[in-house]
Amino acid sequence: GHLWERIDLLRREMLDLLVDYEAGRIRPVVGKTFPLTEAAAAHRYIQERQNVGKVVLTVG
């Protein structure tokens, strides 16, 4: 089914995820960062399967 139809479940799962992150049980690996102005380049980077780890857009 569609998770958006189960907003209560989605909310609970997201809160659990944030708790685990804040407790240090989840540590995402950042592979590369791009400024927000280069979002298209970041998308291409992912699409071309060049990324290892998460791709992060930065603001400012």
Phi-psi region of 54 (alpha: psi -120 to 50; beta: other; left: phi over 0): beta
Q: Are 34 and 28 in contact (CB under 8 A)?
A: no
Kind and range of the H or E element at 13? helix 7-22
Q: What is the pLDDT of residues 43-56, one digit of tens each?
A: 999 999 988 899 99
Number of domains in the chain: 1
> Which residue reads 């049980």 in tokens?
25
Q: pTM of the entire structure?
A: 0.61
Domain boundaries, position 19: 3-58
Q: What is the pLDDT of residues 30-46, one digit of tens each?
A: 999 999 999 999 999 99
